[in-house]
Amino acid sequence: QVQLVQPGAEVKKPGASVKVSCKTSGYTFTTYAIQWVRQAPGQRLEWMGWINAGNGNTRYSQNFQGRVIITRDTSASTAYMELSGLRSEDTAVYYCARGSISNWPFDFWGQGTLVIVSS
């Protein structure tokens, strides 16, 4: 069965970077995109970007341009999202999800990684 597994939590100081992993299984990693979405406390889900796991192409939300980098390791069927310049407003649950780069929903999601930014 399709699974996306994320670490449970990370605690970072303001100004630091965080790199969240998303290990996939149960399907051919390179035939889908991996999307990244976050949800801050009391806020709606916010799309951050995607990576085409086949060719490595990426697209990012304007809201995170310059601060987020999404990569993948095809040998490990794993995608990564790195967010730099952390501030307290980046405290959120970060989700990865399987999707497409075109008009298609996110059909499988990870359980999310809570990132806490605190001094």
Partner 1 sequence: EIVMTQSPATLSVSPGERVTLSCRASQSVSSNLAWYQHKPGQAPRLLIHGASARDPGIPARFSGSGSGADFTFTISSLQSEDFAVYFCQQYNNWPVTFGQGTRLEIK
The reply on whether position 94 binds partner 1 by CB under 8 A is: no
The reply on whether position 58 binds partner 1 by CB under 8 A is: no
Q: What is the CA radius of gyration of the chain?
A: 13
Beta bridge pairs of residue 70:
81
The reply on whether position 13 binds partner 1 by CB under 8 A is: no
Site size for partner 1, by CB under 8 A?
22
For partner 1, which is the closer residue by CB, 13 or 44? 44
Q: β-pairing, 113-117 with 9-12? A: parallel
For partner 1, which is the closer residue by CB, 29 or 106? 106
The reply on whether position 46 binds partner 1 by CB under 8 A is: yes
Q: Which x/- pattern, by CB under 8 A, does the window 65-84 give for partner 1? A: --------------------
Q: What is the DSSP track for 31-76? A: GSEEEEEEE-TTS--EEEEEEETTT--EEE-GGGTTTEEEEEEGGG
